[in-house]
Chain A
Amino acid sequence: MPGTTLGKQKKPFGQWLRTRKVQQWLVIIAFMTIPLILLVTFSYVPFAKMFEFSLYKMKRYDSKNNKFIGLENYLDVFSRDDCFNSLKLAGYYIVASFIQLAMALYFATILCFKVRGGSLFKGLIFFPYLISGIAIGFIFKFFYTRGFVFDTVLSWIGLNPESLPYWLKDTRINNASLAATSVWRYMGQNMVLFLGAMMSVDPTLYEACAIDGANSWAKFRYIMLPSIKSVILLNMILSISGSLSAFEPPYVITGGTFGTSTYFVMMNSLAHEKGKIGLAAAMAVVLMGLIFIVTIAQQVIMKVADEDWREERRNKKLAKARKKAEKEARA
C-alpha cells in the first residue's frame, strides 16, 4: 500500500500518474479533504475554543475587549447556586431513563412473541420518536395545562381535578412531569432496539428450548436476556451521560422556569441570552469532563461484564457436563 511517492520520478509524468500508489494517494486526498475540513471546523475548533473562552470574561461574540480572568469562571461554576446545583436535576432524568429501559425491555419481550396486532402496537408506541422536539414541547405544554388533557384523563378514572397539582409549576412534581415526556418520546425507540437485538438470536436456540419443554419465562431468562445483555448495559450507561446533558424537555416545555432549569438549559441561557459566554464555556468544559469519565467507566464496565458473562457460561457448561457424567455413571 502507499508509502512514499518519491523515487518514481524517473518515469515520464503521465505514466507516473497512473501508478497504483499515486492513484491511491489521489483518491485518499480527494475523498478525505472536505470531510476532514468540516470535522475540524465544526468539532475540533469549537472544542479548542471552548477552553480558550472559558478563561475570559466575555459579554458578546463580536467584542474585542475580552478580559482574561484565568480560572475564575470555573470557580463560579462550582460556587454559584444556579450552575452546579442544576446538575442535581439530572437525577430525575436518570431515574426516568431507567424506568424507560425497563418498560422498553418488557414491551420488546412481549412483542418478540406472537401477539395479535403486534405491528400496530409497535408502530403506535414507536411513533412519538419521530416527532420533532419543538412540536413535543407544544404538545406537552397543552397536555399538562390545568384542566386540559392530563387532568381530564385522570378525572375519567375518578380523580378529583381540583386536588391535582399544577404539573409544570409545582416544584415538587414538575421535574418528574418533564422527565416523563422524555420517557414518552424515547421508550418506543429503545423498544425497537431491544426487539432488533432479540430477533437476531439464532432461532434454533428457541427450538431446542421448546423441545426441552421450557416455558416463556425460561426462554426470556436464558436465551433473550443474555443475548441482549450488552445492548441493555450500553443503554444504561448512555442514559447517565444523556441525563447529565438533559436539555430538550425543560427547554421546549417550561423554558427552565419554576426550578426546571437543567445544567444545559442554564448554560444555553447564560451563553445566548445573559451574555456570560465565558462562564457558559466553563460549564461546557466541566460537563465534558464528566461525560468523559462516564464514557471511560462505560468501556471498563463493558469489558468486565463481558468477561463475567463468559465465565458464567463456562461454569454452567461445566456443571451441566458434570451432571451428565454423574447420571451416566449412575446408569
Chain B
Amino acid sequence: MTAKMKIGKIAWTIIKYASLLLMSFIAVVPVVSCVITALKTPEEYAQTNVMEMPQTFYLGNFKEAFVSANMLTAFMNSLIVLVVVLLLSVMFGAMLAYILNRFSFPGRGLVRNLFLFASLLPGIAMQVTTYKIMYNLGLINSIPGYIILLCGTDIISVTIFIQFFENLPNSLDESAIMDGCTYFGVFFKILLPLLKPAIVTVMILKGVGTYNEYYMANLYLQDKSRLVTMATSLYKFTGPLGNQYNLICAGVLITLTPALIVFILCQKQIYAGLAAGSVKG
C-alpha cells in the first residue's frame, strides 16, 4: 500500500465516523433537549437556557402531564385500538390474500386491482368525504367506529400477505385437502401458522402506524375527555398550556416511551419488516 493510499484511507475513516457522529447528534438533539427540559422544575425552566442541564432530577412534570392529559385513559384506549386493529387486519389481510393467491374465480383480477388502486388514493384527501360517511353511519365519537375505519383503510397488509403466499408451495394445501381437510382447516391449521414472519411484519408496520395515528383520531374521536388516544392526548397541550414546554416535553416523552421499548426489544424485526413492506411496484 502506498503512502498516498494510506492517507486516503485514514481520511476516509475520519470522514466516515465524523459524519456518523454528526448525523446521530442531529437525530438525538431534539429528543435530548426534551429530556433535559422535562426534568426541570417550572422555576428552573423559566430561568435557565433550554440546553442547560437540570440541577435536580425532578419528575413532577411527568406526573402532571400524565394526569392533565388524561393519559391513563389514553393508554387504555390506545391499547384496545391497537390490539383489535392488529388482530382484525392480520385476519382480514391473510384471509383475503389466501383467496386471491390460491383460488381462481371470476372477478379475482378485479378484486386484486381494486385493492392496488385503493392504495394510491391519498388518505388525508379522502377524509373530506369519509367524514360524511362516518357521520351517516353514526360512527363519529365511537372507538369501534375508529377501529373499523383503520381496518377499512388497510391495504398494505394484503400486499405483504400475497407476497408471502407466493412463496408457500401449493402442494401443501393439496395434500391436506387429499387427507380430507376442509379449505377452512387448511387456512387456519396449516397456512396461518406458517405465515408467522409475514404476521410479524404486518403487526410492526400496522402497529407503528396505528399507535402514532392522530389525524383521524382527532377528527373522529372528538370527545377528548373520554376518547383520547396516546397520540391525541398531546392535543391537550395546544391551548393555554401551549408554552409550558417542561410539561409538554414530559408528555411527548411519555407517549414515545412505548415505541422506544418496542424498538429496543425488536430492532431486527422492525428493520426486516420495513424492508419487506417496501417491496412494491
Contact = CB atoms under 8 A, between A and B. Distances in A.
Contacts of A44: 114, 118
Interface string B86-119: 0000001101101100011100000100110010
B58 interface: no
Interface string A228-253: 00010010000000000101000100
B51 A115 contact: no
Interface string A17-45: 00010011111101110111011011111
Interface in B218-236: 219, 230-232, 234-235
A271 B92 contact: no
B105 A2 contact: yes
Interface string B270-281: 011011001011
Contact of A1 (B16, B24, B103, B263): B103
A149 B29 contact: yes
B16 A123 contact: no
B19 A106 contact: yes
Interface in A120-134: 121-128, 130-134
Interface stretch (A77-85, A188-196, A312-320): A188-196
Contact of B105 (A28, A251, A280, A284): A28
B212 to A, nearest CB: 3
Contacts of B177: 20
B260 interface: yes
Contacts of A53: 128-129, 132
Given A106-B19, A142-B249, A1 B120 contact: no
A302 B280 CA distance: 12
Nearest to A109: B16
Given A49-B132, A288-B125, A152 B212 contact: no
B10 interface: no
Contacts, number: 248
A227 interface: no
B30 interface: yes
Contacts of A28: 99, 103, 105
Band of interface residues on A: 35 or more
Interface string A206-232: 000000000010000000000000010
B203 interface: no
Contact of B19 (A24, A110, A148): A110
Closest 7 CB pairs of A and B: A196-B275, A42-B152, A132-B212, A38-B152, A31-B95, A284-B125, A49-B129
Given A193-B274, A247-B124, 20 more contacts: A39-B114, A41-B133, A45-B129, A50-B128, A124-B27, A130-B256, A131-B212, A142-B37, A149-B51, A188-B27, A192-B271, A192-B274, A193-B278, A216-B12, A251-B215, A281-B128, A288-B125, A291-B120, A295-B120, A298-B281
15 contacts: A2-B103, A27-B187, A35-B95, A36-B111, A126-B271, A132-B211, A132-B255, A135-B231, A138-B248, A192-B271, A197-B275, A264-B122, A284-B122, A291-B120, A291-B122
Interface of A: 1-2, 20, 23-28, 30-32, 34-36, 38-39, 41-47, 49-50, 53, 61-62, 103, 106-107, 110, 115-116, 119, 121-128, 130-135, 138-140, 142-143, 147-149, 152-153, 184, 188-189, 192-193, 195-197, 216, 231, 234, 245, 247, 251, 264, 267-268, 271-272, 277, 280-281, 283-284, 287-288, 291-292, 295, 298-299, 302
